[in-house]
């Protein structure tokens, strides 16, 4: 006597609906964890880039203060801080800079004084958590600089301090 084969079981191909549901659930759990972490990572990189873009202007300001050029401008007796446009910054302009669309420049207090500030407002082209926040490099009378910002401390690099008063 021949054994009876169940043709349904021996010819099964592919995945069952339960197996597919398990895979979808695992992907959903991974996405729920990964997406917020990725958004935090993007915010950190944007905040770090902004700190560095503004920080590079400190040397120009120091050179101008040392040489006695305290007015911002392009003439030989004026300070040209060599500010460049950034898509992370909104608004503002400096003498001699024509801004492309959706770009802004850091604002440098003029006339330059011992306690000069380099300030930027974050544009809308960044992670929503940091839009509209401010970042400031402050110079004290001794020539030391410090960075403060009202960008959430989770996004700021260690070189910058959170300050809700901005």
Query: Does residue 107 lie in a domain region?
Result: yes
Dist. CA 157–CA 44, nearest whole Å? 7
Does any domain span residue 84?
yes
pLDDT in tens, 10-58: 566 788 999 999 999 999 999 999 999 999 999 999 999 999 999 999 9
Is residue 30 in a domain? yes
- How many structural domains are present in the chain? 1
In a domain? residue 102: yes
3-12 burial: b if 16+ Cβ within 10 Å, else e: eeeeeeeeee
For residue 94, what are its two tokens?
A: 């400096």
Looking at the domain assignment, is residue 1 inside a domain? no
Whether residue 12 is contained in a domain is answered as no
Q: Are 126 and 40 in contact (CB under 8 A)?
A: no
Q: Is residue 76 a part of any domain in this protein? A: yes
The pTM of this model reads: 0.80
CA distance 89 to 27: 36
Query: Mean of the pLDDT values across residues 58-87?
Result: 90
- Cβ count near 31 (within 10 Å): 11
- 122 has a pLDDT exceeding 80: yes
Provide the domain limits for residue 95. 19-162
pLDDT exceeds 60 at position 8? no
Angle between helices 17-55 and 57-67 (to 10 degrees): 10
* Residue in the block written with tokens 């873009």: 53
User: Which CATH number characterizes residue 54's domain?
Assistant: 3.30.700.10
Measured CA distances, 109 to 22, 79, 81, 130 (Å): 59, 11, 11, 23
pLDDT of residue 101: 83
In a domain, 8, yes or no: no
Count the neighbouring beta carbons within 10 Å of the beta carbon of residue 34. 10
């Amino acid at each position: 006597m021949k054994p009876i084969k169940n043709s349904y079981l021996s010819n099964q191909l592919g995945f069952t609906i339960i197996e597919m549901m398990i895979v979808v659930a695992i992907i959903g759990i991974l996405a729920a964890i990964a997406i917020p972490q990725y958004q935090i990572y993007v915010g950190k990189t944007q905040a770090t880039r902004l700190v560095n873009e503004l920080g590079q202007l400190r040397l120009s300001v120091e050179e101008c203060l040392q040489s006695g050029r305290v007015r911002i401008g392009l003439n030989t007796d004026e300070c040209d801080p060599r500010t460049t446009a950034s898509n992370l910054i909104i608004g503002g302009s400096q003498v001699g800079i024509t801004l492309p669309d959706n770009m802004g420049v850091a604002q440098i207090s003029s006339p330059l004084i011992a306690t000069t500030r380099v300030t930027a407002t974050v544009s809308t082209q960044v992670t929503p958590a940091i839009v509209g926040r401010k970042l400031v490099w402050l110079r004290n009378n001794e020539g030391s600089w410090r960075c403060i910002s009202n960008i959430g401390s989770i996004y700021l690099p260690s070189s910058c301090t959170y300050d809700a008063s901005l």
